[in-house]
Structures are given as C-alpha cells and as structure tokens.
Amino acid sequence: MPELPEVETIKQDLKERIVNKQITSVLLSKKAIIKNKRIDFIKEIKNNKFTDILRIGKLIIFVLASKKYMLVHLKMTGQLIYQQGKDIIAGGHPEPDLEKLPNKFTRIIFEFKNGSKLYFNDIRRFGYMQIVDEVGLNEIKNKFGLEPIDKKFTFEYFQKIFENKNKSIKVALMDQDKIAGIGNIYASEICFEAKIKPARKAKNLSIKELKALYLASKKVLQVAIKNRGTTFSDYVDATRHAGYNISFLKVYDRKGMKCKRRDGGIINKIILGGRGSFYCPKCQK
C-alpha cells in the first residue's frame, strides 16, 4: 500500500497534469466502489474541473470547481493512471499491461476536454472514491492525526500519543487517528533510525527514546518524499518511474541480511499487529 511519501508523490505529479482541465465525461464500471449514489457522483463530476489536489495521510483530495471534494483512497491495489495520447504515467499499484487501457481492472475513467484520460484501476477493489462537501471533508479530516511533516507535529503532541499506551511502538506509529500517513514500511524504518525495537511497549519509552523516535519519524518521511517514495512490486510514481527510496531502506524486507550499521547484526522479522516487522536485534534496544 502506498504510504505518505508515495501518495505525496502521486499528488504532486498529477497536480501538474489535470488541474483546471474540463472533465467531459465519467465512466463507472459495475465494480467501481463509489461512496455516493452513482448518478449523483457522475452529475457532480461531469463538466466540472479539478482546481487543486490536496492530501491528508494516505487520502488524496481532488478539489472541484463546484466547491465539492472528490476523495480517493488507493488502499492496497489502487492505481491512478493518466494518459494523453501515447504518454502514460501512473501512481500506485502497477498493472502488467498499462499500455492496454482500459483493462479488466479499470473501475473508473475520467475523460478531459483535451482528449486525455485519468483511469482508476484496482485489482482487489479495496480502493474507493467519494464526493463530499466542506462539512463532510472536515468530518473526515478530524479522523486523522497530524502528519510527522506537519509544523504542528510537536514533541509535546508526539509524547501524548505514547503516554500509557500498551501497544507496541510500531503499531502505535501506525494509528492513523493519532499520526497520519505512516504505514508498515516506514514504521519499521523509523524504529530502526531511532535504535528502538518495534515490539517494545509504547508506554515504556524514556524521554530520551521518545525524542529519538520523534526525530526519526520526521527524518525518515522527509527523506522518502525527497526520494519520491519506495518501490517494491506494487508501487510506481505518477511519472511511471519506480521511486528510488528502496535503496535507502535499512531494515524493511531485509530479513536474514546484515544490518547496515557497522555494529549491527542480522535483520530479524516478527509479526506485530498482523504485519511483518523488521529490526536489528543488536543495534535496536
């Protein structure tokens, strides 16, 4: 699943291509997941424009000229694909044959006045779209915590999240209602950067350890955004290039490999919150 750095990259790249282009039609497949009545969704989008693209956590927010908002969540296998002539760019989960559009995984198609198209593909159909007004948008925003890259994300805010929490540190980092945007990959990387084992209880961290974790959460995401996100088998950015942050990852998906720190050991894998978690048993305490 794309996390904050990947979704930020998609947002920025699509923003350069579709903002202020008139939408002439919207095509919905029977398997499209729309959290509105289909007729209302189509009526709101057709002949409208996206005037901006925003993001909160992993949620992409397309601002409409009609003062409504189209929410898009890619979830596990969603992908946004922009096509203009023979040029195709994609962000999210890469399909095997992007040149063949639409394909059996295409759920929604937006057609623009200049002939370009935006496809929403989703293999497992966990992703969705939804039109909301400003009140609805604010209600959804209130369900998210602050992002580590937000100026309001202070150490005091971070400290309160971990007070008396009996959860593991890694699981606490992934609570979207407390901290928005951190998923499985970057939670492992943040714990490694802070030299703290991901399985430790959040409530047992010292002030020194909390500060290290706080700084690590900001640093790891900032580096990942700069590197345009992480790519494995399920993510390409909106210019259809693999994000190259994968070469900077220290522990994620490196089970059995030597730690990149000189004093490190062999990377282990454990399960926390139902997800694979990677850490170095020697340099993470």
Q: Which residues have a catalytic role annotated?
A: 2-3, 58, 275
| Cα 238 to Cα 51: distance, rounded to the nearest angstrom | 18
Q: Is the peptide bond before 281 cis (omega within 30 degrees of 0)?
A: no
Cα angle 149, 284, 171 (rounded to 5 degrees) comes to 50
Give the bridge partners for 118, in sequence order: 82, 110
For 179, the 3-state DSSP assignment is strand
The single-letter code of the amino acid at 240 is R
Tell me how far apart the alpha carbons of residues 203 and 39 are, in angstroms, rounded to a whole number.
49
| Residue 260 to residue 249: CA distance in whole angstroms | 10
* Nearest alpha carbon to residue 216 among 245, 250, 191: 191
Q: Which residue has the tokens 């990387």?
A: 189
Q: Which residues pair with 52 in a beta bridge?
A: 63
CA distance 159 to 71: 31
- Alpha-carbon distance 162 to 275, whole Å? 20
Tokens standing for 214? 């706080």
Per-residue CA distances from 201 to 158, 173, 208 (Å) = 15, 12, 15
Written as one letter, the residue type at 275 is R
Single-letter code of the amino acid located at 265: G
